[in-house]
Amino acid sequence: MTSLVAVSAYVPTTVSIESLQDELGLSATQLRRFRRMYGLSDVCRSSESEADMLLGAVSKLDFLAGQEERVRYVVRAKTMPAASPYPVNPMLGVREALGLEHAAMFTVTDHACASGLLAVDLCGTLLAADGDPDALALVLTGEKAFTHSAQVIPDVAIMGEATAAVLVGPGDAQDTMLGYATTTLGGPGGEVILDDEQAAEFRRIYPGAVADVAREAVAAAGLTVDDIAMVLPHNVNKISWVRASGALGIPRSRIFLDNVGTTGHSFCADPFLNYHTANGLGLLAPGACYLMISVGLGSTFSAMVFRK
């Protein structure tokens, strides 16, 4: 079994989307659409380096203190393949600062913004193969929106710079993964950088593809959608989840959207940011089943079911 041993979040200062209008090249019409239709108000922005932002998340991971020797893997889940010029690798400094030089370290980017769920599944597989019930893996998510193409998905989302740290373990004491499903559709609408026609196709397939992968993950967990107490989505915008709610057959009230308007879409970190917030608010009762969903440009749709 794979479990989330602990999850922490680092949310930098937020700024209004209006303050980013010139930087992002948004028209007044686009700005109104983001606010009024998509539910965006503020997004996270940080003057810190990506390494410092990741360390900010790990610093709040209280469970890790004194358990560093148990960490066998440090996995960086990213949307953008690289954010630093070769041969600079900020993760080397992060691993050293955390005292985890003994741990194997690698990055996954294959599923774009769904790579965080991929990393959790991969870590669970590696830990199970190792056979050490006390071993842990540390997954680090979230990144800098360092170029214009990384700062905004036209007419879809504005990117935020919050980060999350996730400790993954091989046991089933809490937050146990029950099912995982992922699919990469490719084809029309499957490009990473979309023109207007491709973006329209991606929006068209989005609700059905989200519903299909979510049902697959729920079925793999031996459940039905009626068993899902809460959906923890990626924070692209509210209107896309209203549409997905109808396709999936889960009431809008069970989709946690509180962070959409205050963090922006923080790359792979979103489901874990939402877990951290919802759990802190007491919205995830012991024994409840919840569903994480994330979608990566390139048309990768992923869903993961957990039992609290």
Neighbours of 10 (CB within 10 A): 26
Give pLDDT, residue 300: 93
How much is the pTM? 0.94
Give pLDDT, residue 193: 64
pLDDT tens string 169-197: 998 878 999 999 999 987 654 555 667 77
Neighbours of 175 (CB within 10 A): 21
Q: What are the average pLDDT values for consecutive 10-residue runs of the chain, which has 308 residues?
A: 96 94 92 92 93 96 95 96 78 95 95 96 97 96 86 87 97 91 76 70 87 97 97 94 91 95 94 97 96 92 97
Give pLDDT, residue 43: 94
Q: How far apart are CA 82 and CA 78, in angstroms?
A: 8
Give pLDDT, residue 155: 80
Given a contact cutoff of 8 angstroms between Cβ atoms, the answer to whether 262 and 146 are in contact is no
